[in-house]
Amino acid sequence: MISFTIITCTYNASKYIDRTLESVRGQSYPHIEHFIIDGVSKDDTVKKVQTYAYDSRYPVIVKSEPDNGLYDAMNKGIQLAKGDYLIFLNAGDVFHEEDTLTCIAEKLKGKPLPGVIYGDTDIVDENGNFIRKRRLAPPERLSWESFKEGMLVCHQSFYARTDIAKQVPYNLNYKYSADVDWCIRIMKEAENKGLELMNAHRILCSYLEGGMTVKSHRASLIERFKIMSHHYGTLTTICQHLWFVVRAVIKR
């Protein structure tokens, strides 16, 4: 049976963590494991996740120790993972439906395992209420070059094969947008191995509005420019950013 590793990285996340834990607990699919990588929270995050782990019907591992930021914590989770696919859900993020993973597993029955499974994303507020669809929508056919148009697939709706991810850790030189670089490198590696990038044709995640890149918007944009220049070339990236400006004006 296909199995999934869910990784939740936390730091002082008590306000939002319950929603995420309940979403994972409510999944109808049984073949999952959940790793909660905490950066030594000062609130009661760890107490909540330990209680959750004690009552869980599937394996839950809680690690609370100093780290070098979010992407370092994610790398720790990757190295622990035993499932076929990795899913990153931050505190406040939830699966869109209780049968999300069951439906994905059904799609994979009898097929070679794709390098990436991807889908759509809804944006919700801190109370879990729907705000809007994500502005950038996933294309019908995804490739590593697709991200020239921006991060078309939300990180939480991008399920990477674990064996690939263990070879492609997050680059800790990036502080705000290492997820963009990671997704591109995962897709490149999948292409090198001749593996499909499978469109799930469904909403996979309801994503909490905000997050680190929103709070550090300018620094994130600068870093994303560097990442795109590295993967697609500086001239292509400049031209693409000019198009982003024109597109924004047209849509007003």
In this prediction, residue 184 has a pLDDT band, given cuts at 50, 70 and 90, of very high
Query: Is the predicted pLDDT of residue 181 greater than 70, yes or no?
Result: yes
pLDDT score of 88: 97
**What radius of gyration do the chain's Cα atoms show?**
18
DSSP per position, 150-205: S--S-GGGEEEEHHHHTTS---TT-SS-HHHHHHHHHHHHHHHTT--EEEEEEEEE
Asked if pLDDT for residue 241 goes beyond 80, the answer is: no
pLDDT, tens digit (0-9, with 9 covering 90-100), for 60-99: 999 999 999 999 999 999 999 999 999 999 999 999 999 9
The answer to whether the pTM exceeds 0.85 is: yes
Output helix, strand, coil percentages for the chain, rounded to the nearest 5: 45, 20, 35
Across the range 221-226, mean pLDDT stands at 91
Neighbours of 207 (CB within 10 A): 23
Mean of the pLDDT values across residues 103-128?
93
pLDDT tens string 6-47: 999 999 999 999 999 999 999 999 999 999 999 999 999 999
